Structure 1
Amino acid sequence: MTRVLHVLDHSLPMHSGYTFRTRAILTAQQAAGLEVRGITGQRHAADGPQVETVDGLTFHRTPGEAGGLPGLSEWREVARLAEAIVALAKEWRPDILHAHSPALCGLAAIRAGRALGIPVVYEIRAFWEDAAVGNGTGREASVKYRLTRQLENHVVRHADRVFTICNGLRDDLAARGFDRDRIGLSPNGVDLSLFGEPPPRDEQLAAELGIGDAPVIGFIGSFYDYEGLDDLIAALPLLRERHADARLLLVGGGPRDEALRAQAAASPARDAIHFTGRVPHAEVERYYSLIDVLAYPRKKSRLTDLVTPLKPLEAMAQRRIVAASDVGGHRELIEPDVTGVLFAPDDPADCAGVLAHLLDRREAWDRMRDAGRAHVAEHHDWAKNVQRYQSVYHNLLGRSVEGASGAQNPQRVPQG
C-alpha cells in the first residue's frame, strides 16, 4: 500500500480554507486505499501533542517555534521541518512526499526527499507573495515579494512533479518558462457525501436576526480586503431602490471587520445590514439556510485573477444561488447565467444591478441550482479528483524503482 506524507504549513484542528482542503485530500486518499499522514512546520500555531489525530487523520508536528530575524528565521524553519520529515520517515517510511505551498514547505520536502531518496510532489494553492499583498501584509515588487517568487521558482524547478489548484496558477508558471504539460491540475473540490438536500429555512434564527421573509444577500467567510465586502455594503442601498426589503447578512470576521461595521453604520441601509460575528462551524448551515443569494464580490488583483476560491463551490454543492465578481478565479468556476451570475469587480452599481436582476428572475433559480450542483459533481468532487494524484504517484514510484536499478533520476519540471 502506497504511503504518502503530506508536508503542510498548518493543519486541523485549526480552521481555514487551507486546512479544509487538506482534510478533503487526505480523507479522499484514505478512502481510495492509500496510507496518509501529515507533518506541519513551526507555523502551526494550535496547542496540542507532537502526534495528533483529528477527524481520523494523523498529524505530526515540528518542534520549536518560528521566529527570529527575517530571512534567517525562514531558513531555520526549513531546516527544522526537513529534519522532522527525515526523522519521521525513518519510523513510518513514506513512499512519496507531497508538499503543499508555501514554498518553505516545498523546499523542506525537497531537502528531505533527496536525503531519503524518495520523490517529491509540490502543490501550489496560491502564490504566497500575492496572498500577502491581498491580506495587506506585503507589497508588490518589494524585496520580500521578489525573493518569495524566486523561491517558488526554485521549488517548482526541483520538485519531481508539480500540481496547481487552477489554470490561472498553471498559466502563470507557464509564462515563467515552465513546461505547462508537466504541471498537473488538482482543482478545489468538495466532499459531496457531506451535502444532501439543503435544510429548510431556519425561521427561529431569521426571527432572532430580525430578517423576516425579506430576500437575503449573504457572505460567509473571512473579512479580508480582497473579498470586496465594502463594495457589497455600498451596493445594498442601490439594490434596495428596486427591492426595498432586501437584506445583507455578513457571517464571519477578520481584519476588515471593524472598518466594515463602521461603513455599514454610516450607510442609509444600515438597518438592513446584519453582522453575526464568527459562528461555530457546526452552526454555519443554519445561516446558509437564510441566504437566497451567496455573493462573492472579490476585488480584481493578481491573487483573485489567478486563484479559485472554495466557497462558491461549497455554495453550489448546497444548491445555493451564487453571484460573484468577474475576476479570473471566479470565471474558472462559474458559467454566467448557467451556474451563477457575474458582475463587474470594484463596481457597487453593477453589483447592485446584477443582484436586482437576479432577484427579478426567481423562476430561473431551480435551473441554476441544478446546473451548479451538476457542475460540482462532474468537476469538483474529491472522490473523483483524488485520482489525479494517483496516476502521478504511480508514475513517480515506477521511475524511482528504475532509478534504483541504474536508470536516470526521475524527470524534473523544466527550468523556468
Structure 2
Amino acid sequence: MRVLMVSWEYPPVIVGGLGRHVHALATELAAAGHEVVVLSRQPAGSDASTHPTTDEQLDGVRVLRVAEDPLHLEFERDLVAWTLAMGHGMLRAALTRLLPSWRPDVVHAHDWLVAHPAIALADVLEVPLVATVHATEAGRHAGWLSSPLSRQVHSAEWWLAHRADTLITCSAAMRAEVAELFEVDADPIVVLHNGIAPRRWRANAARVRAVRDRYAPGGAPVLMYFGRLEYEKGVQDLIAALPRIRRAHPGTRVVVTGTGTAYDELVAAAARHRVRRSVTFTGHLPDADLSALLRAVDAVVLPSRYEPFGIVALEAAAAGAPLVASTAGGLGEVVVDGETGLSFAPGDVAGLAGAAGAVLDDPGAAARRARAARKRLGSAFEWGRIAAGTASVYASATRGSAAEPGRPKIPTGNVFGRG
C-alpha cells in the first residue's frame, strides 16, 4: 500500500515517544514492502533560511520535512497558532512537492497537532483517514479542561476522533479513555501496542560498572526514573517515597534522567523531603549512557499518574532492568504485577515505597521478573508484528462521509467524573 503518515515529530525532531513510534512503524512498514511517505517538520524556532524544506529517502521511507513559515510564533507561547501554521506549511508542501506525482491509499494522522493537514489531505484525495490517539489533553490534566488552551486542544482531539474513519490507540486503557472523552463507540477502536527494538539498549560490562560507581558510590542501592519531567509522570511521588525507602535500605539513591517543565518543582520537592543530596538529576543522556545506566541500577521506577502506554517500561525491560511501575493507563498492561515487575496504584507513595523495597529485599526475584519482562518483548511488543497489524488496519479502512461536525460541548467539571 501507499501510506502517507502525518506527524509533528520524526527523528531527529523528537519531543516525546511519538516520534520514535512513527519512525519505527514507518521503517517496519517500508521493510515489509509498503510505500511510506512521512510528512513532518523541521525543528521549532528555525526557518526556511536555516532549515529549508527537505525531501529525502531515509531507511526506506520518503521523508518530506517542512520548513517553518516566517511568522514569529513560539511553540510554548503560541501553541494553537504555531500548530495551525505548521499544518498550513505541511499542507502546502504536500500539495506542491508530493501529490502532483504521488497519491496515497490512506492517510495516517498521529495526534491532534496534525489534525488540520491530515483531515484536509484525506478530504482532497478522498482516501480513508486513520488516526492514532497517543494521549489526550484531559488525561494529561487528570480530567480537567479548566484553561482556554486545554479546551482548544480537547476540541481538536474531538474533531480528529470523529473525522477519522478508523481510530487506533496504544492500549486498552486508552481505548476506553478515547471512547469516553470523545463520545465514540469503543468497539471499532483498534488497540495496537507500542513496540521496542531490544538490541538498541545493550551496554558492555565495563561501561555498566563505571556508571554504577558514578551514581552509586560505595555500592549503595540505586533507583532510577527516566522520561519526561512532567507532573503526570509522578516523579514527585518517587521523591516523596525516598525517605521511607532509605529507612529500610540506608543510602539508597535516586537518579532522575530527562527534561521537562517540572524540573524546578522536583528539585524543590527533593529539598522539602530532605533527600536533595540523594537525588541526582542528569538531564538528557545520550543513548549509550542511558543504556549503561539502565543496566547498572537496582530498579527502574515509573510512578506515572497518567500514562497512555509507557514505552519507557519496554525500554527498561529491553535493558534487563527490574521494573517498579504504577498501574496508570497502559502501564498496567505493559507491567504484569508479580510476573514482569511490581506494581502500585498511581499516587500511592506508601505502595511505591513498598514495591521498591521488595525489589531491594530480594534481588534474585527481581532479576527473574526482569528476565520474564525481556522475554515478553519478543512476543507482545515486536515492531514487525505491530506494523503488520497496522497494515491490516489500512487494508480494511474505508472512507466514510466527510461530514463536518459542530463544536463539542466542553464539560465544566471533571470529564472523568472525579469531582
Q: TM-score, normalised by structure 1?
A: 0.84
Counterparts in 2 of 1:180 and 1:263: CA distance versus 1, 3 Å: closer
Matched, 1:50 2:50: no
Decide whether aligned partners of structure 1 residues 189 and 277 sit closer, same or farther in structure 2, where only a CA change above 3 A counts.
same
Aligned to 2:117: 108
Structure 1 residues 80 and 55: alpha-carbon distance in aligned structure 2, compared to 1, 3 A threshold: closer
Task: Indicate whether 1:59 and 2:63 are aligned.
Answer: yes
- Hey, what's the Cα distance between the residues in 2 that align with 1:282 and 1:318? 11
Cα separation, 2, equivalents of 1:298 and 1:58: 35
Alpha-carbon contact 2:68-2:86 (below 8 Å) kept: no
Aligned length: 394
- Asked if 2 retains the 8 angstrom alpha-carbon contact of 1:216 and 1:292, the reply is yes
Deviation, structure 1 residue 48: 3.3
1:67/1:123 CA distance change after superposition, 3 Å: farther
Q: 2:220 and 2:369 mapped to 1: Cα distance?
A: 21
The answer to whether the 8 Å contact 1:86/1:116 transfers is: no
Helix, strand or coil: the match of 1:212?
A: helix
Do structure 1's residue 167 and structure 2's residue 172 form an aligned pair?
A: yes
Contact 1:337–1:368 (CA<8 Å) still a contact in 2?
yes
Residues 190-233 of structure 1 deviation map (CA, whole Å, 9 limit, x = unaligned): 12353568856622233334523222111122211222222212
- What do the CA deviations read for 1:310-369 (whole angstroms, capped 9, x no partner)? 101111122211101232332121111111111233233332122112211223123212
2:325 equivalent to 1:324: yes
Q: Deviations over 1:145-203 (max 9, x none)?
A: 33433332222222222211111221133334423232212211112353568856622
Which of 356-365 and 333-342 deviates more? 356-365
User: Any idea what SS the aligned residue of 1:91 has?
Assistant: coil
Q: Which moved more, 1:315-324 or 1:369-378?
A: 369-378
Aligned equivalents of 1:121, 1:230: Cα separation in 2: 36
1:192 is the counterpart of 2:198 = yes
Amino acid at match of 1:229: V
Matched ranges for 1:4-153 at <5 A? 4-15=3-14, 16-40=16-40, 44-45=44-45, 48-51=51-54, 53=56, 56=59, 57-65=61-69, 74-87=83-96, 88-102=98-112, 104-128=113-137, 130-131=139-140, 133=141, 140-153=145-158
Give the aligned partner of residue 402 of structure 1.
none
Q: Partners in 1 of 2:293 and 2:361 — Cα distance?
A: 23
Q: Which moved more, 1:261-270 or 1:29-38?
A: 261-270
Which structure 2 residues correspond to residues 298-337 of structure 1 after superposition, within 5 A? 298-299=304-305, 304=306, 307-337=308-338
Could you tell me how far apart the structure 2 residues matched to 1:353 and 1:181 are? 37
3-state SS in 1 of match to 2:6: strand
Matches within 5 A, 1:180-259: 180-195=186-201, 199=205, 202-209=208-215, 211-259=217-265
In structure 2, how many angstroms separate the alpha carbons of the residues matched to 1:229 and 1:152?
27
More deviation, 254-263/21-30:
254-263
Moved more, 166-175 or 41-50: 41-50
- Given that 1:211 and 1:247 are in contact with CA atoms closer than 8 Å, whether structure 2 keeps it comes out as no
d(CA) in 1 for partners of 2:240, 2:137: 29
User: What is the distance in 2 between the residues matched to 1:370 and 1:277?
Assistant: 28
Against the structure 1 CA distance between its residues 76 and 358, is the aligned structure 2 distance closer, same or farther, given a 3 Å change threshold? closer
- Give unpaired runs (5+ residues) of structure 1: 400-408
Q: Provide the rounded CA distance (Å) in 2 between the counterparts of 1:347 and 1:267.
A: 16
**Which of 179, 185, 200 is equivalent to 1:179?**
185
- Determine the C-alpha separation between the residues in 2 that align with 1:273 and 1:209: 10
Cα pair distance change 1:201/1:348, threshold 3 Å:
farther
Secondary structure, counterpart of 2:9 in structure 1:
coil
Question: SS where residue 182 of structure 1 aligns?
Answer: coil
Q: For 2:145, what is the secondary structure of its paired residue?
A: coil
Cα separation, 1, equivalents of 2:137 and 2:210: 41
User: Judging changes above 3 Å, is the alpha-carbon distance between structure 1 residues 67 and 116 closer, same or farther for their aligned structure 2 residues?
Assistant: farther
C-alpha separation between the residues in 2 aligned to 1:270 and 1:71?
A: 37
Task: Kindly indicate whether the alpha-carbon contact (under 8 Å) linking 1:13 and 1:54 is maintained by their aligned counterparts in 2.
Answer: no
More moved, 225-234 vs 66-75? 66-75
Q: CA RMSD in A?
A: 3.1
Change (3 A) 1:272 1:142: closer
In the alignment, what sits opposite 1:274? 280
Matched AA of 2:237: D
Give percent identity, aligned residues only.
Answer: 27
- Distance in 1 between residues matched to 2:40 and 2:291, nearest whole Å: 29
Confirm or deny that 1:287 pairs with 2:293: yes
Q: TM (normalized to structure 2)?
A: 0.83
Secondary structure of the corresponding residue to residue 259 of structure 1: helix
Q: 2:42, 2:53 within 8 Å by CA — same for their partners in 1?
A: no
Question: Does the 8 Å contact 1:42/1:81 carry over to 2?
Answer: no
Contact 2:295 2:320 survives alignment (8 Å): no
CA distance in 1, matches of 2:107, 2:359: 46
Residue type of the alignment partner of 1:157? H
Local SS of the residue matching 2:99: helix
CA distance in 1, matches of 2:379, 2:353: 31
